[in-house]
Copies of this chain bind each other. A is one copy, B any other.
Amino acid sequence: MTAKQTSIPRILTTALLLLAPPAGCVSGRNDLPSWNDGPSRHAITSFVDRVTTAGNPGFVPAAERIAVFDNDGTLWAEQPMYFQGLFAFDRIKALAPQHTEWKDREPYRSVIAGDMKGLAAAGDMGLLEIMAATHTGMTTDEFAATAREWSASARHPTLDRRYTECVYQPMLELLTYLRANDFKPFIVSGGGVEFMRAFTEQTYGIPPEQVVGSSGVVKYELRNGAPALIKEPKLEFLDDGPGKPAAINRFIGRRPIAAFGNSDGDLQMLQWTTVDRGDGDRTPRFGLIIHHTDAQREWAYDRASHIGRLDKALDEAASRGWTVVDVKRDWKRIFPSGR
C-alpha cells in the first residue's frame, strides 16, 4: 500500500471491499485459455485456489507465495540448442570481420562456416572458448546492450521468428495468473543472468531482481573516472542441478511453494520446493514438469536428448506428486503467434 492510499476515506475502502470478489475466487474459466481443460490445468488451479483462500488450512500469506521457473524449455524453447549458444554463434559471425585470424582457427572457423560437426569435434573446450570470446572482456553495460539488440532482432533458425516469440503462450498465461493471485515469480535458470535480463522484463514481466542465473566473475574498475564492471573469463556460479537450491537459498532466502521445470537440471529445485523436510511444515507445495511430446507443433524429446534431458525427474514425478504437462495433450497453442 502506498502512502497515497492511506488518505482514502473509509467509505471508499469499504465500498472497494464489498465490490471485490471473495478471496479464493480469483480464478475463473477465462484464466489459462491456452490450457486444455484436463488434469494439468486442474492441478494448477486447485493448488492456487487452495493457497489463496482465506480461512482454508492451506492458505499461504502473499509474501510467501514464491514461485520459481526454469527458463530454457520451460518458459521459452531450447531447440535445436540453448538460445544463449545461438546468441554466441551470432556474435562470433558479427565479430569475425574484426578477427580475420578466426577464419582458419577452430572452433571459430566451424562457427563462422555453420559447421556443427566441426564445432562438436572441438568439444567442451571449444564451446567454452566461444562463450569466453562472446561473453567476457567487456563491461556489463556493453554486454547488456549487445544482448538487448540481439534479442530484439535475431531470428530462430527454424521457427522463423524472433527468439522472444519462441516463448510458450501457456506459460505466459500461467505467469499472469499467478501474479494476479499475488505470487512473486522468479526465474531460476542455468542461463547467464546478464543474458536473460536483456529480455525477461519485457517478455515475461519479470523484473531483473527476480532473475537468478549462472554468472561469471566481474571486476570493478574506475575507467577514466567512470565506474565499470568488467566481465572476466571465469565462471563464478553454475545455476543448474544442485546449484538451483543453493541459488534459491542465496538469492531468495525463502522456500518457494511452487517450482516449474522441464529437465533433470530442475530435479533438485523441484525436490527442494516440494519434498517434506520432516520439520512439521504443512504448507501446500506444487511441482510441475513440462514434458515436450509434440514433434509436430514444436519438438518431442526427453530421456535421450542432449539438450534438456528429462530422465530422473520424470521417474520421480509420480512418487513426488509432481504434475507432468504433456504438451501435445495439455496445450491448445504453443507460441503466442502461429502454431
Query: Could you tell me which A residues sit within 8 Å of B by CB distance?
Result: 2-5, 7-9, 12, 15-16, 19-21, 26, 63, 66, 140-141, 180-182, 184, 186, 193-194, 197, 207-211, 215, 217-220, 222, 224-229, 242, 245-246, 249-254, 268, 271-272, 275-279
Q: Which residue of B lies closest to A224 (CB)?
A: B278
In the bound complex, residues from chain B placing their C-beta under 8 Å from that of A215 are: 250
B residues near A141, Cβ cutoff 8 Å = 277, 279
The binding surface of chain A is classed by DSSP as mixed
B12 touches A253 (CB 8 A): no
Are B180 and A2 in contact (CB-based, < 8 A)? Answer: yes
* A229 and B252 contact, Cβ closer than 8 Å, known pairs A7-B19, A12-B19, A20-B4: no
A181 to B6, CA, bound (A): 12
CB closest residue in chain B, given A181: B3
What are 25 sample pairs from A and B whose C-beta atoms fall under 8 A apart? A2-B181, A2-B182, A4-B20, A4-B21, A12-B16, A184-B209, A197-B253, A207-B254, A209-B252, A209-B254, A211-B253, A215-B250, A219-B242, A220-B242, A220-B245, A220-B268, A220-B272, A222-B271, A225-B275, A226-B275, A227-B245, A227-B271, A227-B272, A227-B277, A229-B245
